[in-house]
């Protein structure tokens, strides 16, 4: 069964760059997915008064920002379409306009209707990080975070961050189609970062995957007092993995999400493609 992937394009207050979008298209090709691309454009309310009109011409600033969001959204959607068509990825593109406070929420709603989201994340782009966070925790679907600083390769070696938790188990299930394509799977467990009830948790998962015919092995990582996100990503890269699969940890407090350390660290400094599932 073909995978149908969602690719949101952030346009406000920062746009996402072409490098990250191009990487997302290449990943879609490597996992055999079609793409539904949606540019999320800004609708900015007029909060001007007589003084702001006199000093700053706020209405014009709002019109300029909305125009930039619209133009950039259309340009980047066309860029993705051209890139997808050039490498044989089935693609459809559209756009939606939403209030600035709901841009990421709108993306999360669109994501619920597809199998997987490919969300570009740029190192210095807070808009892309916010978009990723809301889609991870609001869509109910797995999200593959796409870095801009690393060209993607085939996901022939997949690393799994495993601590025996519900979120980690969900991530493994959501990554099943990708795992079945892999030539090698490494189950990464860090025992010195937080208590893990089962001391053989990594080997138990690797054995279960092998029983399903998947080429899995268990590996133990030592955090050495490094942040857990850094330990997991560096561990995956040092063992030449092309993708890291992990649970997305966090809980809701009113409308804000309080994120776990690993999730926060990955979103802040993404070093390879990471599939997050909450």
Question: What are the helix and strand counts (H, E) for the chain?
Answer: 10, 12
Helix (H, G, I), strand (E, B) or coil at 263: helix
Per residue in 165-177, pLDDT (tens digit) is: 999 999 999 999 9
Q: Which domains does the chain have, with CATH numbers?
A: 3-147 (3.40.50.620), 157-277 (3.40.50.620)
Counting Cα atoms < 13 Å in the Cβ hemisphere of 175 gives 30
What average pLDDT does this structure show over 208-230?
92
Q: Is the pLDDT of residue 252 over 50?
A: no
The H or E element that residue 136 is part of is: helix 126-138
**pLDDT confidence of 195, banded at 50, 70, 90?**
low
Are 67 and 41 in contact by the 8 Å Cβ rule? The answer is no
**pLDDT confidence of 263, banded at 50, 70, 90?**
confident
pLDDT at 54: 47
Q: For residue 258, what are the contacts with CB-CB under 8 A and spacing of at least 6?
A: 250, 251, 252
With pLDDT > 70 as the criterion, what percentage of the chain qualifies? 90
Whole-prediction pTM: 0.90
What average pLDDT does this structure show over 254-265?
60
Q: Is the pLDDT of residue 214 over 70?
A: yes
Per residue in 13-24, pLDDT (tens digit) is: 999 999 999 999
Residue closest to 146 by CA, chosen among 241, 272, 234: 272
Task: State how far the Cα of 130 lies from the Cα of 263, in Å rounded to an integer.
Answer: 12
Angle, helices 18-30/58-87, rounded to nearest 10 degrees: 30
Task: State how far the Cα of 233 lies from the Cα of 242, in Å rounded to an integer.
Answer: 10
Task: State how far the Cα of 73 lies from the Cα of 212, in Å rounded to an integer.
Answer: 43
Residue closest to 117 by CA, chosen among 94, 141, 133, 96: 141
The H or E element that residue 158 is part of is: strand 157-161
What average pLDDT does this structure show over 54-76?
82
Look at the chain and count its residues: 278
Strand-pair partners of 43: 99
């Amino acid at each position: 069964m073909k995978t149908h992937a969602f690719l949101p394009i952030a346009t406000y207050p920062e746009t996402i760059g072409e490098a990250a979008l191009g990487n997302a298209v290449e990943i879609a090709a490597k996992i055999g997915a079609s793409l539904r691309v949606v540019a999320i454009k800004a609708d900015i309310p007029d909060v001007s008064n007589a003084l702001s009109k006199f000093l700053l011409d706020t209405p014009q600033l709002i019109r300029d920002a909305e125009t930039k969001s619209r133009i950039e959204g259309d340009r980047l959607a066309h860029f993705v379409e051209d890139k997808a068509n050039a490498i044989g990825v089935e693609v459809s593109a559209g756009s939606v306009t939403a209030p600035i406070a709901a841009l990421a929420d709108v993306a999360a709603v669109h994501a619920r209707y597809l199998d997987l989201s490919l969300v570009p994340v740029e190192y210095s782009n807070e808009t892309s990080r916010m978009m990723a966070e809301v889609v991870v925790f609001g869509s109910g679907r797995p999200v593959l975070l796409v870095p801009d600083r690393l060209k993607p390769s085939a996901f022939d070696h997949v690393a799994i961050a495993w601590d025996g938790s519900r979120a980690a188990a969900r991530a493994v299930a959501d990554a099943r189609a990708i795992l079945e394509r892999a030539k090698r799977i490494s189950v990464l467990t860090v025992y010195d970062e937080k208590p893990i009830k089962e001391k053989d948790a990594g080997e138990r998962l690797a054995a279960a995957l092998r029983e399903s015919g998947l080429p899995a092995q268990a590996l133990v990582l030592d955090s050495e007092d490094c942040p857990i996100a850094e330990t997991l990503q560096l561990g995956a890269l040092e063992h030449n993995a092309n993708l890291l699969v992990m649970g997305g940890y966090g809980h809701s407090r009113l409308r804000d999400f309080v994120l776990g350390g690993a999730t926060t660290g990955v979103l802040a400094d993404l070093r390879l493609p990471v599939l997050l599932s909450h």
